[in-house]
Structure formats: C-alpha cells, structure tokens
Amino acid sequence: MGQGIATILSRNAEEITRRTGRHIEVTHAAVRDVAKAQGVVDSHALNVSITDNAASIVSNPDIDIVCEVMGGEQPALDLSLTALAHGKHLVTANKALVAMHGNTLFAAAQKYQVMFGFEPAVAGGIPVIKAIREGLAANRVQSVVGIINGTGNFILTAMSDQGRDFDDVLDEAQALGYAEADPSFDVDGIDAAHKLAILAAIAFGMPLKFDELLIEGIRAIQQEDVVYAKELGYVVKHLGVARRRETEAGPAVELRVHPTLIPQRQLLANVHGVMNAVLVDCDALGQTLYYGPGAGSEPTGSAAVADITDMVRALSGRKDSKPPGSAVGHILPPLGFQTNALIELPVLTADDIETGYYCRITAEDKSGVMASIAGIFARHNISLEAIRQQEPDALNAADESTDTLLPIVLLSHRVREAVMRAAIAEVEALASVPRAVTLLRVETL
C-alpha cells in the first residue's frame, strides 16, 4: 500500500497540486526490506530516502505528514503516538489500530493540535468515512450495514454461485492471495468488526467500542444452508450491522458482525467476490449505498491520498507560519462530532438483539414432530414467516435401526434473540431432534 500511495502522488502530482495549492513530496519511507524498496524507488525514479528505522521518520522535523500502513497494534501504536507528539499529521490505513486505540489517538491528536486521518482503514478505496462524517452531516444516522470484508464475501459468493464448500473456497482464496495463510482475522469476523466499530463511532457520535461487539465468522456456514436460503429468496452474506435503537432504558445501539440472510432483491445481496459495500440509512436522505474495491494497493492508496490532500489544503489555508497544529481550527474532528459532544451510547447484548431468524431443524420423520416444534414457537410468541420441510436426510438410511431424518427450515419475523434462543433450547431438548439446530440471523434491510 505504501507503494500505491507513492505511485498515486507521483502519477497525479499535477492534478493533486491543482487541488491543494502545494506540491506533495514523498521524502522518506520506513520498510522491512530496504533492498526491495530501494529497487522500487529506483525503478520509478523517486527521490525517497529508504530506511528500516521507522522511529527516525516519526521524529524527523522536516516531515509534515506521516502515513502508517504497517498494520497490527505494535509497533504501529507507539510510532503513531510519537508522530503526533512531534507535531506530525497522521494518516493510517490500520483498522485494528483505530478500532482498538482510536480513542487514545484522537485525544493525542487534539492535545498536540494535529490532524488525524483514517479513511483507508475502512472499505479500502470507498470514501465511506467522508460520506458519513461530512456528506451526511445534516442527518441523524439510523443504521450502517455493510459487507466490509472482501475475503469473506469472496468465499460466500463462491459457495452460493458454484455450490462449493467453505474449505474448498478458502483454499482458492489463499492461492489467489485474498486470504492469508492464517485467515482467522477474515473468516472469524475480526477484520469486519474493526471496521464496524469505526463506522459506528462516526455514524452515532460515540467513542469506539470494539470490545463490546458481537462477532461471529463464517467457518460454520454449510452448503445446505446456502441452498435453502436461495430457495427461500435469500442470500447469505457476512454483514456488519450498527443500528440505533430506542429502548425502555433510553437510546442504545446494536453492534454485531455475523453471517446473515438478506433478500435477493436487495442491492447488498448482489455485491459479489471481493467487493465491499456499505448501506447507510438516515432520517433526511433515506438509504444510500457505497460500493467499490475493499482492498488493493491503489484503491486503498487512493483513500490515503485523499486524507493527505485534505491535510495539505488545511495547511495551505494558514495565514501564518505557526506550527502545523495551527491548522486544527480549519478541519473536522476525527469522528465529525466535537470531542466534548460524544455520547456514551450503551451497546446492547446478544440477548437484546432484534432481528428475524433462519432455523434449520433436523428431526425424525415421525407423526406429531412438526406439531411439537410449531407449538414451542407459538408458546414463545414467535411469529413464523415461512415453514418448509425438505427432502428426508436419510443419513444412515442403510441402517434399519436409524429413523429417517427430515430437515425442517423455518423463517421467523423479528424477535428478541433471548426469546429465540429459549425456544431453540426447547426444540433441541425434544427426543425427536437428534442434532443441534442451525440458527442464522435475517435482515430485510
């Protein structure tokens, strides 16, 4: 990504200068492999000093803006705090850094009166942070729902379109470079959760609360559930959901990342492969969708250069030669809300989530089983939208002592998760239900 930033600044130098009023020059770069980076610099005829000592860059008095694209929490956090303390404006693409330590970094930026940009940390090159923070500033944001991890979306797209199993598609994603050798951050939902925590803070004017998110990945998604969802008119996507809720105790938010059924007619259902998309619902404007590449050297570099451009515009507007911090009065706070106006919205627990549900129940093919299951849902006041009995599983059908198993698929209307979980526990306790129930959430958007 560092190469993408340098390439864009070099290739589009004239256009960017017309926008900012100043020439932007990349003078230093800290890398792990100096020889490799020097080869890139030489091939592009760039006048950049290469070093493996990042500390020397963040304290260099001749540098105005620092871009952090190394990833991870450390040493990125210490280097970023040092850069801010030395009066450097900071741009980061590090979603983990912002999600886990953003509150600390924002406070440091305010203390040292410098600018802090993180557009490339969420959804790659899609300018969704600017859209919510600035373009939608007149609105009260009700919800932000997004496909914000390209690897997970690639896997689920292939499972749906090609009828393949999770493990098979994951192997391909790793071979193509979409997934790391250890794909945990992507397939277990951590990467998407980092991004959702950032989007929620910007949308609702609240501190970052990554530690309170509900996070579920896609490892457990079965091909049969993808097929059943399609038969019912739905697609399985890995969604991040941030939704404002009014409760008896006052305003609160749902913050959750998990596999979700969404209707095939929805635009989000038609986001395929490694692409990202974010759907924002506001009171004045209504729904808007932001779609594009969620990763890649130049797409993400585009977002970083956009932040750099904003900073240079602010610096160009100064009427004196005071330190860079004098520009702080000309820019927005990092989250778009005044720092002293952020509100501590409580995050609802999993029990208090309200959504629809997809249930796949594997039951013995006997008289009265369906009535027993329906009765349990009725006692819990769970309204069902659809009930479908699939063809018998016939697992171990060659064994005459084994009863034929029948998959039963149910779709519920919106209900509190605690109520649904209680009903499922009763269903699983039935002697005629020998397997755990598969439960997925449903969002009609």
> Which residues belong to the active site?
195
Largest separation between any pair of C-alpha atoms in the chain: 89
CB atoms within 10 A of CB 400: 7
Cis status of the peptide bond prior to 75, with omega within 30 of 0: yes
Given a contact cutoff of 8 angstroms between Cβ atoms, the answer to whether 280 and 132 are in contact is: yes
The C-alpha angle with vertex 36 and arms to 120 and 33, in degrees rounded to 5, equals 75
Position 3: which residue type? Q
Between the alpha carbon of residue 110 and those of residues 16, 114, 120, 328, the distances in Å are: 27, 7, 21, 8
The answer for residues whose C-beta is within 8 angstroms of residue 296's C-beta and 6 or more apart is 4, 124, 125
Query: E strand or H helix at 78, and its extent?
Result: helix 76-85
CB atoms within 10 A of CB 367: 6
Residues listed for the chain: 445
Q: Read out DSSP for 258-277?
A: EEEEEETTSGGGG--TTEEE
Query: E strand or H helix at 403, and its extent?
Result: none
The answer for residues whose C-beta is within 8 angstroms of residue 369's C-beta and 6 or more apart is 363, 406, 430, 432, 433
The answer for residues whose C-beta is within 8 angstroms of residue 242's C-beta and 6 or more apart is 143, 144, 145, 196, 199, 200, 203, 204, 253, 254, 255
CA-nearest of 274, 204, 283, 276 to 240 is: 276
48 forms beta bridges with none
Q: How far apart are CA 144 and CA 257, in angstroms?
A: 12
Residue written as tokens 């379109």?
A: 161
Residue written as tokens 């005459």?
A: 400
The answer for residues whose C-beta is within 8 angstroms of residue 220's C-beta and 6 or more apart is none
Q: How far apart are CA 44 and CA 160, in angstroms?
A: 42
